[in-house]
C-alpha cells in the first residue's frame, strides 16, 4: 500500500526511461560544426552520428535506449532530466569528449502492476538479505582437546 507508493517515489528516478541521441567527438570544432548542421536542418542527427560519432552509438545513428534515466553518465542524466523531447543541446565538454545531446522520448515510470511487482520483489529481496545478515552471526567454536 502506502509503503510501496513511498518506495516507488524514491525509486522513480531509476525507473524513468529515456530514448536519446548522442554524438561524441574529441574535437570542439567538429562538434560545433555538427551541432549547427543539425540545428539548421542541413543533415540529420542520425547521419552525422553514424559518420562522426566516436562511440558505440555511431552504429545506431546516435540513438541510445530506451534505458533507465540513471544509466548514462550523471551529467548526461541531469541534462536529459530537464530536457523536452526534441530539444538539442549545444556541444558540452564531458571528460575528454565534446557531446551533442537530444532527448527523443521520455518514458515516465508508471505505478502500474508490472512496476508494483518489481518493487515488491526488490523490497522482499532487501528484507531477505537483512534476515540472513541478522541470523548469520559467527560463533567461535572451542577447539577439541
**pLDDT tens-digit readout, 79-132:** 999 999 999 999 999 999 999 999 999 999 999 999 899 999 999 999 999 988
> What pLDDT does 140 receive?
61
CATH fold group of domain 17-107: Chitinase A; domain 3 (3.10.50)
> What pLDDT does 92 receive?
98
Query: Is the whole-model pTM more than 0.85?
Result: no
> What pLDDT does 142 receive?
67
* Nearest one of 97, 96, 73 to 23, comparing CA atoms: 97
pLDDT in tens, 33-92: 999 999 999 999 999 999 999 999 999 999 999 999 989 999 999 999 999 999 999 999
Regarding beta strands 17-25 and 63-68, do their DSSP bridges make them parallel or antiparallel, or are they unpaired? Answer: antiparallel
Distance linking the first and last C-alpha atoms of the chain: 57
Q: Is the bond preceding 66 in cis, omega lying within 30 degrees of 0? A: yes
Amino acid at each position: 500500500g502506502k509503503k510501496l507508493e513511498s518506495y516507488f517515489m524514491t525509486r522513480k528516478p531509476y525507473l524513468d526511461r529515456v530514448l536519446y541521441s548522442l554524438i561524441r567527438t574529441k574535437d570542439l570544432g567538429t562538434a560545433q560544426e555538427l551541432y549547427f548542421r543539425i540545428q539548421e536542418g542541413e543533415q540529420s542527427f542520425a547521419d552525422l552520428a553514424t559518420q562522426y560519432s566516436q562511440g558505440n552509438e555511431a552504429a545506431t545513428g546516435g540513438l541510445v535506449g530506451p534505458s533507465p534515466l540513471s544509466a548514462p553518465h550523471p551529467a548526461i542524466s541531469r541534462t536529459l532530466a530537464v530536457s523536452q523531447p526534441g530539444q538539442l543541446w549545444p556541444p558540452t565538454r564531458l571528460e575528454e569528449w565534446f557531446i551533442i545531446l537530444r532527448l527523443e522520448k521520455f518514458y515516465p515510470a508508471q505505478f502500474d502492476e508490472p512496476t508494483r511487482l518489481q518493487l515488491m520483489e526488490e523490497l522482499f529481496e532487501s528484507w531477505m538479505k537483512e534476515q540472513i545478515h541478522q541470523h548469520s552471526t559467527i560463533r567461535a567454536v572451542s577447539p577439541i582437546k
